[in-house]
Structure 1
Amino acid sequence: MASRLRMEPCCPMMTEWMSTYPELRVPAPVEVREEPLPREEGGPSRVCALLWWKATQGGPEVAHLLRRARPFSSTLLSTERNLLEREYRFHRELADVVATSCAATEPSEVDPQEQVPAALEGIYKVMSATLTIRSNPTGKLVPSFPVATIRRGDEVRGCPFEVDGQPWLQLSQQSRELLGLESQRPAYAQINGERLGLGELLRRSPVAPGPEQSAWGRPTLPAQFSPSATSSSDFAQACPVDTDGLNVPEGRWSRFVARLMAGRPLRIPCCLASYWDDAGVTKEEAWRNFLLVMERFPAQDWHAVDPRVGCNEEQARAAVKGIGSLHRAFSGRRMLDGVHWLPLTPLGLEKRAAARALYSDCLHGLLLAGALQAALTPVALETLSKLSSSDEAFGAAVARLVQPPLTLLHGDFQPAPRQSVAAWTGLRFSTARQNPACAVLDWQCVSRGRGAYDLASFLALGLDVRARREMEPFLVLLYLEAAGIRGSENSRVEFYDDFRAGLLATAVFFLQRHAGTLAGGPEVDPAANQVALLGLHRLSVAIEDWNAIQLLGGISCQDLAFGEDDKDPRALPKYKLKKPGEPKRMPRERRRMPRDSQEPLSPAERLLRTTLSTLRK
C-alpha cells in the first residue's frame, strides 16, 4: 500500500517524482515547477496546470500543460476510466504515427502563379451562334445524337479532353441538370471546330469555378472513348486507364488536388511524459494514477473557438482538411488491425445491444425530466425516439459506420464545449488569417469507424446553423478530396447515408456524455447548460435538414397515435384547388379509427405522444 501511495502523482509536482516514475519521451528535467493555469486559458483548474520545465542546469524554463484526472462522476457512460486509458495508450502507441501520417499525406504547396492545367474543370462561354450538345463525342466507334442546343453567350461547366485530336467538353452534372437533361447520362460539346471550318465554339472563362453541390469526383471519360482506342497522341499515352475502365488525366488531376489541398496538416500535441497505473486499485480510485505532460498551445498564438459562435470559414476549412488527411492516412490500410483497444466508434458498437439499451435509458430519463423539449425539433424528437425503439432500428441506423473500410476516428471532433476546458480539450486554430493550422488537443474518444462520423460531428456542433447551411456543400466536397474519396453517383449516395448515420451516432453520444448537464440542477453551471442545449439544437436541426429519419424507415409526426383529447391532423378535411370550370367538391372526412383496431403503443411511443401533445399545447 505504501508503494502504491508513493507512485501516485504528487501535487504540486516534484522534480524527483517526475524524473523517476513517468514514461518520459525526452531527457529527464533537472527542475520542474507547477503553477495554476492562467485565467485567460481557463484556470484555475483541478485537472490542468502549468508545468515549468527546465531541461538543463542554467537553461531556460519552458511551460507545458500538466494534465490530471478528477474523481469519476458519470452515471451513464461508466467508462471514464476507459477514456483515460485510451488517451494514455494513444499517446504511447499512435500519436507519433498519426502525426507522421498526416504530414505525409498533406500535398506540397503549389505556386499560386502557376497556370491551371487545361484539362481541369472550368466554365466555358459559347462563342458561336448555336452549339449542339451531343450524347457522345463524334467518332467512329459509337453513334452520337443531339440532346440539347445552347446559344451565344450561354455558359456551361465541364472537363475538357481529346478525341481523335479534337477537344471536347464533358458537361458537369450541374450543367446537365440546368439544361433539363438526365443527370445520370453524360453530355458533350465540341470546344473547337477549326478542322470542320467552324472556328472557336467554346472559350474558357478565366474565373476559376467554385464547388457545386453535385460535384463529386475527378473527371472521367466514357470507356468507349478512351484515348488509347481512338488516338495515338501524346495525350493518350500520358493518361492511364483506371480500375473502372475510365480514362482519367491522373497527373493533371493530382496537380489540381494539390492546389485545392494546399495548407497545413493536423497538429497533434507532443506528449513529453505519461503515467497510468491502475493495478491493485479500485476503479473508483484509478483516476489518481493518471498524468500527462503535454505541449502547450498558448492563447496568444492559438485561438480557442467560442462554442456559442462556432468556427469561421477559414477555421472550418482547416479543420475539414485536417481531419480528412487523417482519415486518408488510415483508410484502406491495415495499420489498426493490431490495435484491439480501439472501440468501434465512441459508442462501442461492438456491443450494439448494450449501447442501444444505455441510449434508450438516457433518452427516456431526459424526456421525463423535461430537459430536451426546448432544444429538439419535433422531427428530431421523433427520429431519436424511433432510434431507441428497438435493436433493429438502432442497428439499421448506425451499423453502417462500422462496416469496412474503417479509419481512425477522433471521436469528438468539435471545439471545446466551454472556455474553462479549452486549454486541454477541443480544437485550437493558429492566428494566421489564411490557411490556419488546426490542433486537436484531447484524444480520449479515439476509435475506429467510417470517417463520416467525425465530419458529421464537426459540421453539426462546430458551426452555427446558418453558417453550416451556407458552407456545407463546399466543406463536404473539400473533405472528400482531403480523404481521397472518389467514385460514382452510387458512392456519393452511400457517403451521404454514412453522414446521416454519423449525425444519429453523434446525437446518441452527445446525449450520453452531457446527460448530467442537460438535466440541470443546482450543481450545474447555467452557462454550461445553455451551451449543451445549443449544441443539441444544432444537432437536431442538422438531423432534420439531412432527413436522417429515412435510415429508420421513418414516418411523419402525423402518422403517430394521438390522445383522445388531441386534435388528430388526419381527421381534418383536405381541400384541393378547383380547376377552371370544375364544380367545387369537398372530399369526405377521414374518420378516426376505433381505439380497439389500433395496435398497442410501446412505452417509447406513449412517451413521445405525451411529449408531442405538450409541445402543441
Structure 2
Amino acid sequence: MASIAIPKNHLEVTAQWLESALKAGSEKNLGSIASIELKQIGEGIGVMGELFRASISYSSGTGPSAVIVKLPSQADANRQQGIDLGMYEAEVKFYDSLAAQTTARLPICYYTASEAGTANFVILMEDLGHLSMVVQMDGMNAAQTSAAIRSLAALHASWWGKVETTELEWVPSVIHDRIVNFGAMWPMLWEMYQPKFGHVLPEGGVEFGNWLSVNYWEAVKEFATSPWTLLHLDYRVDNLMFDKDLNAPDAVAVIDWQSVGRGPAGYDLAYLLGGSVTVEDRRKYEDKWLHEYHDEITRLGVNYAFEDLYKDYVRAHVIGGTSTAVLTGATFDLGNERGVALIASMGERHFAAPIDHNGRQFFSV
C-alpha cells in the first residue's frame, strides 16, 4: 500500500490525515471527511498496542461511518518489546501478504504502514463494533468456545503443511532465534515473576515453573517436531469477536495478528482453552472441545490423528501460555488494574492445564 506519514500517537490522527490514508489505501472513492471523533477502546486488553474508534462525518460523498485505528503502545517498555520481537512489522505484513490466503473472518484492512526497526506503525481496519466481545477473566461459555474452535480449525487447515517455505521465513517459528534467546532468559524472568504473581499459581505451579525454567528450550524443540501450520500465537478471547448466530460460518472474527507465527497447531488450541475459559469449564468440556477441533480439521481435509493432536495439545500447554504469563507478568507495563488481573488469570489458568495433564510425561527432558 502507498505510504504517508505515520502518526506518533492518536493526537496526530486528524480528519485530514485519515482521509489521506484511506484514499492511499483501499478507499480510492472516499468522500471528503469533515471531522472525526476519536475514542479509545479496549483499554487493558492489549499491552502492545492501542486501539481507537474514529467516528467519521463527511462534508460530501460517502465512506465508512467509522474505522478502527491501531497504534503502538505508549508505554516505553512495551514498545521496546514490540520492536525486539518484530511484532509491529509482523502484523502489517500479515494484512499485506497473508490475510487474503487465510481462512478466517478478519476485519477489512483499509490501510497499513510501518517503519522497519521501530515502533512506528499504523493500521486502519473495519469497525466490528456490532459484534460482541467476552471479558477474558470471565471466560467464554461452551457455545462461544465451540465456535472459536471451528474458526481455529479452518485457519489451521488453510495453511497446513504450507508454511515451511522461503517466502514465509519472515514469519517467526516456534524455534526462531528469539525463542532460543527467550529460553536463556526464562530463569531470570521466572525469578522476576514469582514475587508479583506466584500467589495465583495452582498447587504444584512453582515446582513446575522451576522445571520449565531450565528445560524450556529442549521442550520447545521436541514440540516443534510435529506438523506445522500458520499460528495466531495469541488466540485468546480478547482477540475474538462473536456474531449473534454462533452457528454461522463466519461466527468469529479474529483480530490482533502481531504475534503471527509458524509451528504445530496445538499451540493455538492450548492457548485458547488454557486461558480463555475457566479452569472448571476446561476440565468439564475439554475432551468434547478437542474432538470438535479434530472433527472439523479432519472434515477440512487434514490427516491428523487424534492421538497426535492430544500429544501436541498437552505439550503446547507446557511451553505456551505458561511462558506468555511469565514474560508479561515479569517485564511488561500492564497499565491498569484490568491488565494486572488479566495476567493473574493467565498465570492461574495456564499453569493449571499442564499440571492437570501431567504434561512433563510427553517430554524426554
TM-score, normalisation: structure 1: 0.52
Following superposition, the deviation at residue 341 of structure 1 comes to 1.1
Paired with 1:428 and 1:37, the residues of 2 have a C-alpha distance of: 19
2:39 partner letter: L
Equivalence for 1:83: 87
| Cα distance change on mapping 1:58 and 1:14 into 2, 3 Å | closer
Q: Is the 8 A contact 2:111 2:125 kept in 1?
A: yes
Partner of 2:154: 325
CA deviation after TM superposition for structure 1 residue 497, in Å: 2.4
Residues 324-354 of structure 1: per-residue CA shift (max 9 Å, x gap):
1111111123585411210013xx5445531
**Secondary structure of 1:78's partner?**
helix
SS in 2 for 1:408: strand
Of 344, 350, 353, the residue aligned with 1:533 is: 344
Structure 1 vs Structure 2 CA RMSD: 3.1
Tell me, in whole angstroms, the C-alpha distance in 2 between the residues paired with 1:38 and 1:351.
32
Shift of 1:76: 11
Larger relative helix fraction? 2
Structure 2 residue corresponding to 1:374, chosen from 189, 199, 208:
199
Mapped to 1, the partners of 2:218 and 2:359 lie a distance apart of 12
Per-residue CA deviations over 1:15-49 (Å, capped at 9, x if unaligned) read 3674269851231533334312277x659x99332
Tell me the SS of whatever aligns to 1:442.
coil
Deviation at 1:471, TM superposition (A): 1.2
Which residue of 324, 342, 348 corresponds with 1:509? 324
Q: Is the 8 A contact 1:452 1:499 kept in 2?
A: yes
Query: What residue number does 1:30 align with?
Result: 31
Inter-CA distance 18–402: structure 2 relative to 1 (3 Å threshold) = farther
Query: Could you say which residue in structure 2 is the equivalent of 1:97?
Result: 101
1:447 is aligned, of 261, 264, 267, to 261
Tell me, yes or no, if the aligned pair for 2:39 and 2:54 is still in contact at 8 Å. no
What amino acid is aligned across from residue 432 of structure 1 in structure 2? D
Q: Distance in 2 between matches of 1:22 and 1:86?
A: 23
| Equivalent in the alignment of 1:408 | 230
Letter in 2 for 1:383: F
Distance 1:335 1:516, change over 3 A: closer
| Alpha-carbon distance, 1:274 to partner | 1.0
- Quote the residue 2:125 is aligned against: 294
For 1:427, the aligned partner's letter is L
3-state SS of paired residue (2:112):
strand
Q: Kindly provide the amino acid, as one letter, of the partner of residue 35 in structure 1.
A: E
Q: Partner residue of 2:111?
A: 273
Find the residue that maps to 1:74 and give its secondary structure: helix
Instruction: Give the CA deviation at 1:275.
Output: 1.3
2:310 to 479, 496, 501: 496
Q: How does 1:458-469 map to 2 (within 5 A)?
A: 458-469=272-283
Q: 1:38 & 1:371 partners in 2: Cα distance?
A: 28
Percentage identity across aligned positions? 20
**Structure with more contact order per residue of length (Cα contacts < 8 Å, sep ≥ 6):** 2
What CA distance in whole angstroms lies between the structure 2 residues aligned with 1:75 and 1:306? 22
**Alignment partner, residue 11 of structure 1:** 12
Alpha carbons 1:29, 1:55 under 8 Å: kept: no
- The answer on 1:73 being equivalent to 2:76 is yes
Task: Output the amino acid matched with 1:362.
Answer: L
Code of the residue aligned with 2:145 in structure 1: it is: A
Report the Cα distance in structure 2 between the residues aligned to 1:380 and 1:467, rounded to whole angstroms: 20
Give the secondary-structure state (helix, strand or coil) at the position aligned to 1:338.
Answer: helix
Confirm or deny: 8 A CA contact 2:294 2:306 kept in the other structure: no
Hey, what's the Cα distance between the residues in 1 that align with 2:26 and 2:145?
Answer: 32
- Rounded to whole Å, the distance in 1 between the matches of 2:23 and 2:222 is 40
Q: 2:317 and 2:22 mapped to 1: Cα distance?
A: 42
Name the CA distance, whole Å, in 2 between partners of 1:473 and 1:359: 31
Counterpart residue number, 1:397: 219
Which whole-Å CA distance do the structure 2 matches of 1:427 and 1:372 have between them? 26
Q: Name the amino acid aligned to 2:345.
A: L
What is the CA distance between 1:60 and its match in structure 2?
5.7
Q: Deviations over 1:544-600 (max 9, x none)?
A: 11111223558xxxxxxxxxxxxxxxxxxxxxxxxxxxxxxxxxxxxxxxxxxxxxx
Distance 1:381 1:339, change over 3 A: same
Cα pair 1:23 1:274 within 8 Å, conserved: no
C-alpha distance in 2 between matches for 1:500 and 1:11: 46
TM-score (normalised: structure 2): 0.84
Gaps of 5+ in 1: 103-265, 417-425, 555-617
Contact kept in structure 2, 1:90 and 1:443, CA below 8 Å: yes
- Asked if the contact 1:377–1:537 (Cα under 8 Å) also holds between the matched residues in 2, the reply is yes
In 2 relative to 1, CA 56–341 (structure 1 residues): closer, same or farther, beyond 3 Å? farther
| Partner residue in 2 for 1:211 | none
1:242-321, aligned counterparts within 5 Å? 266-278=104-116, 286-287=118-119, 289-298=120-129, 301-321=130-150
Q: Give, in angstroms, the shift of residue 57 of structure 1.
A: 3.3
Deviation at 1:532, TM superposition (A): 1.6
